[in-house]
Amino acid sequence: MKPVWPNVPLSRWSKRLFKLLALFVTSVFLVTGLSVPGYGAAQPTVLTPNAAEAGLEGLLAQDPNTAGNATLYFETPTFTVSVFPRNSQTLRMNVYNKETRQTEQLNAPVTRRDGIISSNWISYDSFGSRGGRNIVYRASGNLTNNQARLEIVDVPTSSILLSQNSTSVRDFFLPGANPNPNPNPGQGDLLNRTFVGFDTQNHSVRVFNDNGVTKMNVYNRITNQPLVNGLTATAEATEIAPYRCWVNYFSGQSYGGVAARYFVRVSGDGQARLDVIAPNGGVLLSEPRVSSSPLVTNIPQADRPECFGSGGTVPDGAGLEPYVAAVFGGDNELQRVRQVLPSGSSQGVGGLTCVINPRFENAPQGRFINAAECSDRNDASAVVNFLRARGLNSRLVYRNFRYR
């Protein structure tokens, strides 16, 4: 027997209200029954902005943070460097680049190298790569004044690609060092005010800040005489090769009783030299930095040319040396030079400090063939004699600040 459903007549407005109510109930069911489970299954976990920032800072801090438990921990203008742990025979190195916000070395093995800079320095080497080059990160500490520095050395050539002195030292527990170093040992006002400092074979050079004024000291270590003592120095943004992309400071008034200026020059890849130039452009003294002592480079950004460190002054892979073995002639002579002195060789003139890459160059005196450029005058003269013996019109050219 079928149940009897009540038959209640509804008005037109009641039927419309009933339909709207049924539609609302159905919508609520669909939303609550389908949407909520789908959200829980499909959405990934999302960090809040604060959590994400904290995670990034933890990465930048080079986990584990070794400050307070390091053999050597210091800051340079660009890097944070740590050799750790303390009082251990097995050491590791961290190198963090503050400009790029990237870790360049992390827990990398370390080799101790005593006396590689001088007897007062202890160095720690860690092999790595940078910009596609095999390099060594060298963290060093000076036992005399608790100074520290970082050098990046190119392995194939042993040249210094970067050299920065410490701006602060947190841990300094090298063998033989003061067991209770000051919070900022050996830095003091002197180091923080030094823009450039290095030694040549016979001289010590320093460019520094004295109450907002840039000054220069040049000291002759042979005669124990100051040649420039606290005289005002000027940063020169030269457009003259080969020092166009170098930092150049000049100061001084005389050399050996002759009017002259002293030029302190530093390149972005760690080269440095002292030149003394007479008013007529004559070179009275030219000495490169010796690697037995560190190069201090805390150069203000305002004193750096835009191309500093770019290598823009190095044409076709050649060097930046001051002595040039020049040949005068045209294309035929250039081909002859390349035959007797191929690029990259030292054929017939062995033992030279020269970069050999024959090519045309231009100077105010005219165009010539740069057969070789050398850091030593005698080596450049040997190339000149070698070329003359083969019938080429060659002579020695010196690149001073009026070269171009």
- Confidence bin at 147 (pLDDT 50/70/90): confident
Distance CA 275, CA 262 (A): 6
Express each pLDDT in 305-332 by its tens digit. Answer: 877 754 333 333 334 567 888 999 888 8
More confident residue, 20 or 205: 205
Distance CA 99, CA 351 (A): 40
Residue 63 C-beta-side C-alpha neighbours within 13 Å? 6
Structure tokens at 334: 């250039």
Distance CA 73, CA 125 (A): 14
* Residues paired with residue 272 on neighbouring β-strands, in sequence order: 266
**pLDDT computed for residue 403 by the predictor:** 36
More confident residue, 342 or 380: 380
pLDDT above 50 for 55: no
Q: Which of 98, 84, 112, 77 is nearest to 297 (CA)?
A: 77
C-alpha of 302 from chain center: 17
Contact 241, 205 (CB under 8 A): no
More confident residue, 299 or 93: 93
- Confidence bin at 261 (pLDDT 50/70/90): very high
Distance CA 222, CA 250 (A): 22
Contacts of 179 (CB under 8 A, 6+ apart): 173
Lowest mean pLDDT among 58-67, 102-111, 121-130, 143-152: 58-67
Express each pLDDT in 23-50 by its tens digit. Answer: 666 655 554 444 433 333 333 333 333 3
Express each pLDDT in 202-260 by its tens digit. Answer: 998 999 888 889 999 999 888 888 899 889 999 987 766 677 788 899 999 899 889 99
Express each pLDDT in 328-346 by its tens digit. Answer: 988 888 888 888 887 655 5
| pLDDT mean across residues, the chain | 75
- Confidence bin at 372 (pLDDT 50/70/90): confident
- Confidence bin at 126 (pLDDT 50/70/90): very high
Residue 132, number of CB atoms within 10 A of its CB: 5
Contact 138, 150 (CB under 8 A): yes
**DSSP class of residue 128?**
E
* Residues paired with residue 234 on neighbouring β-strands, in sequence order: 250
Residue 284, number of CB atoms within 10 A of its CB: 15
pLDDT above 70 for 5: no
**pLDDT computed for residue 19 by the predictor:** 67
**pLDDT computed for residue 352 by the predictor:** 65
**pLDDT computed for residue 255 by the predictor:** 93
pLDDT above 60 for 122: yes
**pLDDT computed for residue 183 by the predictor:** 41
**pLDDT computed for residue 223 by the predictor:** 87
The helix (H) or strand (E) run that includes residue 135 is strand 133-142
